[in-house]
Amino acid sequence: MRSARKRFRSRAAAALTALALPLAALIGLASPAEAATSATATYAKSSDWGTGFGAGWTIKNTGTTALSSWTVEWDYPSGTSVTSAWDADVTSSGTHWTAKNKSYNGAIAPGASVTFGFNGAGSGSPSGCKLNGGSCDGSSTPPGDAPPSAPGTPTASNITDTGVSLSWSAATDDKGIKNYDVYRGSAKIATVTGTTYADSGLTKGTTYTYSVTARDTADQTGPSSGSATVTTTGGGGNPQPGGDKVRLGYFTDWGIYQRNYQVKNIVTSGSASKLTHINYAFGNVTNGQCAIGDAYA
């Protein structure tokens, strides 16, 4: 008898395990994160009588797995509201409205759709629609949220051999600016929350190009600003606005005879450390090449 009971319990446990596996698979068919990128919600008015209207949302499963539930959220402007609804539980917080499925219409098979309707007051249109936390059009950004404008072209200041300070005018956005991406050429070098950035570690006498793009609170990126070209100081390059100015000396080769001022005296007198350029008189052109007229000098 004991042996028979043990065999029965073993078979029963095995049967329960076999049943649990399909059940777990069914539970994991759809999560809100999956639904957000594989379904759409479309708004349509069915009637309008001036002071009120009839409307509804259609949720369509555009993915390959079943959805187990859905939640649609949207905003109405002040003065527009839902007065009654069917086939969904509709609630509000201020001007923000939320509709959740009923117990009988939460599951949506791939390719199928569900519609819920309501009557409303006012004349406004919905905005900022979200389906299960994602966009109602199946993308990652809520429809109706425009990307930010382009920031102003960066302005360079405090240009040194190895660094430069950049500033730009702010971009605008209907939902607010989150941060800015700073580019040196085609490479993104920084993300900042303000409208300034100090770049460092540059090479002296080298030309760089900078631009900036803005990112809004929905993480949308707007168009690029204009480009600013900056050349660091040093390296014998052309001076840039705000950088070092040319400090020019004039060396006359006959000076070694008249006052015994030799080339090395430019260094020993301390003049060399104060100059960026020297004009030497005189160099000649011989057979199409540069040549010194007085080799001794």
Residue 35 has a pLDDT of: 35
Distances from the Cα of 41 to the Cα of 70, 106, 187, angstroms: 10, 14, 38
Residue 100 has a pLDDT of: 96
pLDDT band at residue 258, thresholds of 50, 70 and 90? Answer: confident
Question: Mean pLDDT of all residues in the chain?
Answer: 82
DSSP the chain: -HHHHHHHHHHHHHHHHHHHHHHHHHHTS--HHHHHTSEEEEEEEEEE-SSEEEEEEEEEE-SSS-B---EEEEE--TT-EEEEEESSEEEEETTEEEEE--TTS--B-TT-EEEEEEEEESS---EEEEETTEETTSSSS-TT-PPPPPPPPPEEES--SS-EEEE-PPP--SS-EEEEEEEETTEEEEEESSSEEEE-SPPTT-EEEEEEEEEETT--B------EEEE-S-TT----TTSPPP-EEEEETTHHHHS---TTHHHHTS-GGG-SEEEEE-EEEETTEEEES-S--
Q: What is the pLDDT averaged over residues 164-177?
A: 92
Nearest CA among 107, 116, 114 for reference residue 65: 107
Residue 140 has a pLDDT of: 52
pLDDT band at residue 28, thresholds of 50, 70 and 90? Answer: very low
Domains along the chain with CATH numbers? 32-135 (2.60.40.290), 155-231 (2.60.40.10), 248-292 (no CATH)
Distances from the Cα of 201 to the Cα of 161, 162, 224, 242, 256, angstroms: 9, 5, 24, 19, 43
Residue 43 has a pLDDT of: 92
User: What tens digit of pLDDT does each residue of 204-243 get?
Assistant: 999 999 999 998 887 788 899 999 999 999 875 444 444 5
Residue 244 has a pLDDT of: 57
Answer yes or no: is pLDDT of 285 > 90.
Answer: no
Of 23-32, 65-74, 111-120, 220-229, the poorest mean pLDDT is in: 23-32
Of 36-50, 81-95, 105-119, the poorest mean pLDDT is in: 36-50
pTM for this entry: 0.39
Q: What is the pLDDT averaged over residues 181-186?
A: 93
Nearest CA among 213, 216, 282, 272 for reference residue 247: 272
Max mean pLDDT range (38-47, 80-89, 226-235): 80-89
Answer yes or no: is pLDDT of 135 > 50.
Answer: yes
Answer yes or no: is pLDDT of 288 > 50.
Answer: yes
Q: What is the pLDDT averaged over residues 102-116?
A: 93
Q: What is the pLDDT averaged over residues 34-51?
A: 76
Q: How far is 2 from 8, CA to CA, in rounded Å?
A: 10
pLDDT band at residue 11, thresholds of 50, 70 and 90? Answer: low
Q: What is the pLDDT averaged over residues 89-104?
A: 94
Residue 229 has a pLDDT of: 94
Answer yes or no: is pLDDT of 139 > 70.
Answer: no
Q: How far is 180 from 61, CA to CA, in rounded Å?
A: 36
Residue 179 has a pLDDT of: 94
Of 80-94, 208-222, 241-255, the poorest mean pLDDT is in: 241-255
Q: What is the pLDDT averaged over residues 32-52?
A: 73
Answer yes or no: is pLDDT of 32 > 70.
Answer: no
User: What tens digit of pLDDT does each residue of 143-162 get?
Assistant: 456 788 999 999 999 999 99
Q: How far is 128 from 40, CA to CA, in rounded Å?
A: 13
Q: What is the pLDDT averaged over residues 233-254?
A: 69
